[in-house]
Structure 1
Amino acid sequence: MNANQFNARYPIGTPVFAYPGCRPEDDANGERLVTRTRSKAEVLGGHTDVVWVDGHGACIALTHIDVRPAEEAAS
């Protein structure tokens, strides 16, 4: 999903799981943040789609973002 598609589907504040380093399928010990988006997604450097999330100081590639299920996000 690219930045435009992400922004069309998900507003700022969308609950997500964010993986700042490796995705869990690549490294079972990788960090997982339970958080929300704090910006619109954008293209960084002309080729990487990213978004900023609460609780993390750097942007995270959309390939390392999973939108949380609505029922889980409400709890």
Structure 2
Amino acid sequence: MSKREIKQQAKEQSLCEAWNASHPVGTVVSILRDNGNTTQTRTVSEAQVLNGHTAMVWLEGISGCYALKRVTAIE
């Protein structure tokens, strides 16, 4: 793994840790879908780094996972 990849993975892990510290599993969120629409759902997992390069979270009623950059917690 290159230094750049290690740095990117550490950055994404930090994003996950920050998310998990303030958003428990079950948090209600809005997600930006691929078609530009938003959908309200809730998290069903903690955030985690997918394949060493993307901070992501699994969501209720959504097939697959979404990158944290497209997920907004609804307070």
Partner of 2:20: 7
Q: TM-score, normalised by structure 1?
A: 0.75
Partner of 1:60: 66
Q: 2:54 aligns with which of 48, 54, 63?
A: 48
- Counterpart of 1:20, as a letter, is R
Note the alpha carbon deviations across 1:10-29, whole angstroms, 9 max, x for none.
1000000012326xxxxxxx
Corresponding residue to 1:31 among 31, 37, 54: 37
| RMSD of equivalent CA atoms | 1.4
Percentage of matched positions with identical amino acids: 37
Deviations 1:20-61 (A, max 9, x none): 326xxxxxxx12111100101000010100001111011100
Higher radius of gyration, 1 or 2? 2
CA–CA distance in structure 2, aligned partners of residues 31 and 60 of structure 1: 14
Count of residues in correspondence between the two structures = 62
Displacement over 4 Å in runs of 4+: none
